[in-house]
Amino acid sequence: MSQGNFGVAGLGVMGQNVALNIERNGFEVIAYNRSEDKANEMREKSAGKNVFVTQSIEEFVQKLEPPRRVLLMVTAGAGTDAVIEALTQHLEPGDIIIDGGNSHFPDTNRRNEALQAKGFHFVGCGISGGEEGALWGPSIMPGGKYEAYERIAPVLEKIAAKTEDDGPCVTYCGRTSAGHYVKMVHNGIEYGIMQIICEVYDILRKSAGMSTPKIQEVFADWTKSEIGGFLIEITAQCLAKKDDQGSGWLVEKVLDTAGQKGTGKWTAQTALDLGVPIPTLSMAVEARILSGLKPQRVEASKILDGPERRHGKRRKDLVEALFNATYVSMIASYAQGMALIQEASKEYDYGTNLAEVARIWKEGCIIRSKLLDPIKQAFKEQPGLANMLTHPYFSKIVNDTLPDLRKVIRIAARTGVPTTCLGATLAYIESYRSEFLPANLLQGLRDNFGAHTYKRLDMEGVFHSQWNEK
């Protein structure tokens, strides 16, 4: 029996799959796409199902029962504004527009204000899980006015991924652009963890001289461990894939230049604006940019020397150390992301519940892993926790595993393998745990050339000195 209808505008693969997910959960879906090919694809995929497909925006709006609920599944950017503009010609005050794309949070703020002024409700909603997740249960991160969230929550709870013990992977992330902010940081963490995995792979092949199948075994083994989760699982999958165009392993034939669509960069940018250190996540963006300099790297590889590589014999020790290095670096990635959301929630008055964010990342999303449950517990116990590294559960793991991160970086340095994110992670933790940093000298330098003044450890006040006089 139908439980009311729900509109989906934008029928790319994600839009199609979310629409099918909504229909499977008992709602009639009214689906809209202006272009014929996408609309026809949807017609084919939904044949015999409770889905009505239209290419007319008027008909789309007419078919929906007021107050209308419209989910936009449009590529973030100008396209989102265009669809909103067209829709609002026909919608009525009180209708709800949900933006399910990866929109940049300042755009969500702008749209939120404009739409509210016209009497519409707007929900900026992060959706994670890729194509499969969209169809079978994504992690959903909505934000905006709570009263609008309440009206769509029954649908979102049905279509979201389910945890075994912790409910559906959807929660109210907070006011205004909180949903898209949380999703952006999710992607920042995704960038960090993926780059860590890639550096570990690089050390295994270059420093230890291991073959792709041997490296695959390592990751397959880790899927059952404390760091097990989606990204480790799909790493094992990627490394097991045979080249269907020739012989050998597909991953070895893939051009080593990474793409990006912006969410990782935005995470780094907002962290700089808010003054929150997230070096692991930021360096993952830098690593992608460096990978893009392929022609320059090819030239430089002929000019700049690296150390001679002799593969050590103690592979088992290295694999164990790499496990711990991955463990601590994954924890640091989540810690940096959570600290950023914590600060953004204060600065932008989101009112985000960090324990809830960790809970809804337990299933469905790209960064789901076994670490999310203890992260949830930590923030449940201490909602104002500034950095989860200091929570007793995580500080014990960090203290146990950090020596191995140091060891891995020594080995990588000795064998000339870049550790862009692993190195940034070590520096982050070493800095964070340092009572004293060399910023005393930095302040001296600033005061020396620019009279920027400094404070003292042993006296109150603001000081300036003539540093060129002994």
Among 17, 102, 270, 345, binds ligand 6PG (CB under 6 A): 102
Sorted by sequence, the CB contacts under 8 Å of residue 159 that are 6+ apart come out as 18, 21, 22, 25, 137, 138, 140
**Least Å distance between CB 128 and ligand 6PG?**
3
Residue 12 sits in the site that holds ligand 6PG (CB under 6 A): no
What are the angstrom distances between the C-alpha of 140 and each of 98, 126, 152, 358? 12, 6, 12, 12
Smaller CB distance to ligand 6PG: residue 193 or 412? Answer: 193
Residue 263 sits in the site that holds ligand 6PG (CB under 6 A): yes
Q: How far apart are CA 395 and CA 384, in angstroms?
A: 17
- Determine how many CB atoms are found less than 10 A away from the CB of residue 253: 11
Residue 130 sits in the site that holds ligand 6PG (CB under 6 A): yes
Among 190, 199, 356, 363, binds ligand 6PG (CB under 6 A): 190
Among 21, 108, 176, 187, binds ligand 6PG (CB under 6 A): 187
Span 359-388, contacts to ligand 6PG by CB under 6 A: 365-366
What number of chain residues touch ligand 6PG (CB under 6 A)? Answer: 13
Residue 260 sits in the site that holds ligand 6PG (CB under 6 A): yes
Interface with ligand 6PG by CB under 6 A: which range of 31-39, 257-265, 325-333, 350-358?
A: 257-265
Sorted by sequence, the CB contacts under 8 Å of residue 140 that are 6+ apart come out as 125, 126, 127, 156, 159, 160, 169, 170, 360, 364
What are the angstrom distances between the C-alpha of 275 and each of 177, 279, 287, 307, 336? 19, 12, 21, 37, 12
**Least Å distance between CB 177 and ligand 6PG?**
16
Smaller CB distance to ligand 6PG: residue 129 or 423? Answer: 129
Q: Which residues are catalytic?
A: 183, 190
Residue 99 sits in the site that holds ligand 6PG (CB under 6 A): no
Torsion-angle region of 342 (φ positive above 0: left; ψ -120 to 50: alpha; else: beta): alpha
Smaller CB distance to ligand 6PG: residue 195 or 415? Answer: 195
Which position's Cβ is nearest ligand 6PG?
Answer: 128
Burial of 57 (0-12, 13-18, 19+ CB in 10 A): middle
Smaller CB distance to ligand 6PG: residue 366 or 409? Answer: 366
Residue 259 sits in the site that holds ligand 6PG (CB under 6 A): yes
Smaller CB distance to ligand 6PG: residue 128 or 420? Answer: 128
Torsion-angle region of 312 (φ positive above 0: left; ψ -120 to 50: alpha; else: beta): beta
Among 100, 124, 129, 229, binds ligand 6PG (CB under 6 A): 129
Sorted by sequence, the CB contacts under 8 Å of residue 301 that are 6+ apart come out as none
Backbone dihedral angles phi then psi of residue 248, each to the nearest 5 degrees = 85, -155
Give the residues lining the site for ligand 6PG (CB under 6 A): 102, 128-130, 187, 190, 259-261, 263-264, 365-366
